[in-house]
């Protein structure tokens, strides 16, 4: 009932029907894609199960008996083939719906989507090559089963997994969002692509909009020295995290510098200190503002952890073998991922380790501390900090995509089908964000509210008509916020989403 008007307002319906007119196809492309997005939002299923769900469960009078899973896969193929056109149409509508203040920050982050499979695409290609040789009479019969799909270039690859499935092949999904959670752009990369490579591709393929003072916001994993220079050259302002532990300049010139911290006015656990670095001294060659942020809660907890670590380290260093060499406890210490940073080889006694006072001081300075850097100089520290926290909108999208929208796990094998599945989810999450913004309700509330509303086909006097259950005040309030008329109690024929007052999915 409430999705179709949003679908049309975002220009998706028009874009898909325009594409449909370009092809000699005998199925309604736009309705099939809409049905898959509807299913993704309400009750995510496979493409075959989606067809059955539209037939048996959803109110979807356009469903036709001739539809089968092949039509859904063909719709996915056309969606992927014409995505650049659809994405541009969607971008223009999303841009128009967003205030100038929210347009300023482009929030960029990545997530992974795993596949429940044993082999990645490189391994599959190797086995496929062995089968080709075997078919030509060369070599022995390879392992079964024979790969049915070999992606070239490889797509499903093992990499840094963010789903808790480190051994499974995956792809990486990069999203560029606005502060209101709307996804302006997305890209799908092979699963072994690192964030730096993704950032470089996004920077060069997503030109900054010319009509606003655009700010690129991303975490430290996507913003190294070369990426920062590329952003500067492309005309972006930037706001990024800068992990101090791996940056000698930040440790020496920013963290170690003394200065007064200012408390956040509404989040008292946070305090800030600004360090302005002129272009002549900045690693990027541009005037930069660094923001040192302390979280008092994290700082207290981490300082206590440092003291515990020091206790374990001193106890281990005090132990000696009978021959005077260091003990097994010290061997464990110097190989420990967290504790080894506190010790260093002794300069006086070969083979021994001692506590590093510099390392202890560094850990105490870093406790509860984060550093951000920006080329925007006219914002106070609170505004800078709050701007970076907008990345939570991207993280919220990824949680929505992986949770209720069931982005993963995926069983598609061909690269273009994998990309098309992500496109369906991107369309769904944008519709979700618009519905939430316009109604002031979470999608979980809307899902619960409107799945309770039923439409039944009944016969009377030889005529067939639809009859709905009663609307509650909550239903009426949501319809009013979406500027929709209350649908009739009964209706005799289907009217599409453009008809006022129509009962729509």
Q: pLDDT (tens digit, 9 = 90+) per residue, 162-209?
A: 777 888 899 999 999 988 889 999 999 999 999 989 988 888 877 666
Residues 338, 440 within the same domain: no
Structure token digits, residue 193: 């692509």
Q: What angle do CA 283, 286, 289 make, to 5 degrees?
A: 85
258 and 284 in a single domain? The answer is yes
Which residues, 6 or more positions from 291, have their beta carbon under 8 angstroms from its beta carbon? 272, 273, 274, 275, 371, 372, 373, 374, 381, 384, 385
32 and 54 inside one domain:
yes
Return the pLDDT at 191.
93
Q: 299 and 362, same structural domain?
A: yes
| CA 172 distance to own-chain centroid | 9
Residue with tokens 């999203």: 175
Are both 332 and 256 inside the same structural domain? yes
Phi, psi of 175 (to 5 degrees): -120, 140
For residue 475, being part of any structural domain is answered with yes
* Residues 371 and 250 both lie in one domain: yes
pLDDT of residue 500: 30
In a domain, residue 181? The reply is no
pLDDT single digits (tens) 202-261: 888 776 666 666 788 998 888 777 888 888 888 888 999 998 888 899 999 999 888 899
pLDDT bucket at 418, cuts 50 / 70 / 90: very high
Residue 85 pLDDT more than 60? yes
Distances (CA, A) of 90 to 83, 84, 184, 254: 10, 10, 8, 42
Cβ-proximal residues to 395 (8 Å cutoff; 6+ apart), any chain: 109
Whether 283 and 361 share a structural domain: yes
b/e for 159-187, b at 16 or more Cβ within 10 A? bebbeebeebbbbbbbbbbbbbbbbbbbb
pTM score, whole prediction: 0.86
- The candidate with the shortest Cα–Cα distance to 343, out of 332, 327, 354, is 354
What is the widest separation between alpha-carbon atoms in the chain? 103
Average pLDDT, the chain: 88
Position 393 in a domain: no
The answer to whether residues 460 and 427 belong to one domain is no
**Percent of residues, the chain, with pLDDT higher than 90:** 53
Q: Check whether residue 460 and residue 476 sit in a common domain.
A: yes
Residue where one domain finishes, among candidates 349, 375, 401: 375
At residue 162, the pLDDT reads 79
Q: Is residue 360 part of a domain?
A: yes
> Which of 139-143, 314-318, 364-368, 395-399 reaches the highest mean pLDDT?
364-368
Is 346 found in the same domain as 265?
A: yes
Residue of 416, 411, 460, 486 whose CA lies nearest to 46: 411
In this structure, is residue 423 part of a structural domain?
A: yes
| pLDDT per position as a tens digit, 354-366 | 999 999 999 999 9
Tens of pLDDT, residue by residue over 306-354, are 999 999 999 988 887 666 667 788 888 889 998 999 999 988 888 788 9
pLDDT in tens, 19-54: 999 999 989 999 999 999 999 999 999 888 999 999
* Residue 307 belongs to some domain of the structure: yes
CA triplet 45, 63, 24: central angle to 5 degrees?
A: 100
Task: List Cβ neighbours of 155 (8 Å cut-off, separation of 6 or more).
Answer: 121, 171, 190, 191, 415, 418
Q: Provide the β-strand partners of residue 466.
A: 457, 491
What whole-number distance in Å separates Cα of residue 260 and Cα of residue 443? Answer: 43
Domain limits for position 16: 3-83+412-450
The crossing angle, in degrees rounded to 10, of helices 296-318 and 357-366 is 160
**What pLDDT band is residue 106 in, cutting at 50, 70 and 90?**
confident
- Domain assignment of residue 369, yes or no: yes
CA distance 75 to 128: 28
Within-domain flag for 429 = yes
Same domain? For 424 and 486 the reply is no
Domain final residue pick, 375, 401, 436: 375
Q: How confident is the model at residue 496 (pLDDT cuts 50, 70, 90)?
A: very low
Q: SS3 letters for 184-221?
A: EEEEEEECCCCHHHHHHHHHHHCCCCCCCCCEEEECHH
- If one compares 101 and 371, the residue with the highest pLDDT of the two is 371
Token pair 């840094």 is at which residue? 160
The answer to whether the CB of 290 falls within 8 A of the CB of 371 is yes
Q: What percent of the chain has pLDDT over 70?
A: 95
| Overall domain count for the chain | 3
444 and 470 in a single domain? The answer is no
498 pLDDT higher than 60: no
């Amino acid at each position: 009932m409430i999705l179709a008007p949003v679908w049309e307002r975002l220009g998706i319906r028009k874009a898909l029907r325009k594409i449909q007119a370009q092809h000699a196809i005998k199925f309604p492309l736009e309705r099939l894609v809409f049905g898959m997005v509807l299913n993704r939002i309400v009750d995510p299923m496979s493409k075959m199960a989606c067809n059955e769900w539209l037939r048996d469960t959803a109110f979807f009078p356009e469903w036709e008996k001739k539809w089968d899973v092949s039509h859904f896969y063909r719709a996915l193929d056309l969606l992927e083939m014409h995505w650049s056109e659809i994405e541009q149409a969607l971008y223009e509508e999303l841009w128009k719906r967003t205030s100038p203040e929210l347009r300023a920050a482009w929030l960029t982050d990545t997530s992974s989507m795993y596949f429940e499979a044993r082999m990645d695409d490189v391994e599959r290609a190797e086995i496929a090559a062995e089968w080709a040789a075997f078919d030509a009479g060369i070599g022995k019969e390879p392992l079964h089963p024979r790969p049915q799909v070999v992606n070239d270039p490889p797509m499903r690859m093992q990499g840094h997994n963010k789903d808790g499935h480190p051994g499974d092949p995956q792809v990486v999904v990069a999203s560029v969002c606005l502060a209101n959670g709307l996804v302006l752009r997305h890209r799908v990369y092979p699963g072994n692509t690192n964030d730096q490579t993704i950032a470089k591709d996004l920077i060069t393929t997503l030109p900054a909009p010319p009509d606003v003072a655009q700010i690129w916001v991303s975490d430290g994993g996507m913003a190294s020295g070369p990426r920062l220079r590329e952003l500067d050259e492309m005309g972006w302002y930037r706001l990024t995290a800068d992990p101090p532990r791996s940056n000698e300049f930040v440790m020496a010139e920013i963290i170690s510098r003394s200065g007064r911290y200012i408390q956040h006015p509404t989040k008292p656990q946070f305090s800030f200190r600004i360090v302005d670095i002129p272009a002549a001294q900045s690693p990027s060659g541009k005037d930069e503002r660094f923001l040192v942020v302390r979280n008092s809660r994290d700082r207290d907890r981490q300082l206590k952890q440092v003291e515990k670590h020091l206790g374990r380290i001193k106890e281990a260093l005090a132990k000696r073998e009978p021959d005077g060499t260091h003990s097994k406890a010290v061997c464990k210490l110097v190989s420990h991922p967290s504790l080894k940073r506190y010790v260093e080889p002794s300069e006086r006694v070969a083979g021994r380790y001692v506590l590093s006072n510099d390392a202890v001081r560094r850990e105490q300075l870093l406790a509860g501390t984060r550093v951000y850097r920006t080329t925007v100089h006219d914002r106070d520290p609170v505004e800078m900090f709050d701007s970076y926290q907008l990345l939570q909108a991207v993280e919220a999208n990824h949680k929505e995509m992986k949770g209720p929208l069931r982005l993963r796990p995926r069983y598609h094998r061909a690269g273009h089908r994998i990309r098309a599945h992500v496109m369906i989810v991107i369309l769904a999450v944008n519709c979700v964000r618009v519905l939430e913004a316009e109604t002031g309700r979470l999608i979980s509330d809307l899902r619960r509210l409107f799945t309770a509303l039923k439409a039944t086909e009944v016969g009377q006097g030889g005529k067939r008509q639809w009859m709905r259950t009663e609307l509650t005040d909550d239903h009426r309030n949501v319809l009013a916020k979406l500027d929709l008329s209350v649908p009739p109690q009964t209706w005799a024929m289907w009217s599409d989403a453009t008809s006022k007052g129509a009962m729509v999915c």
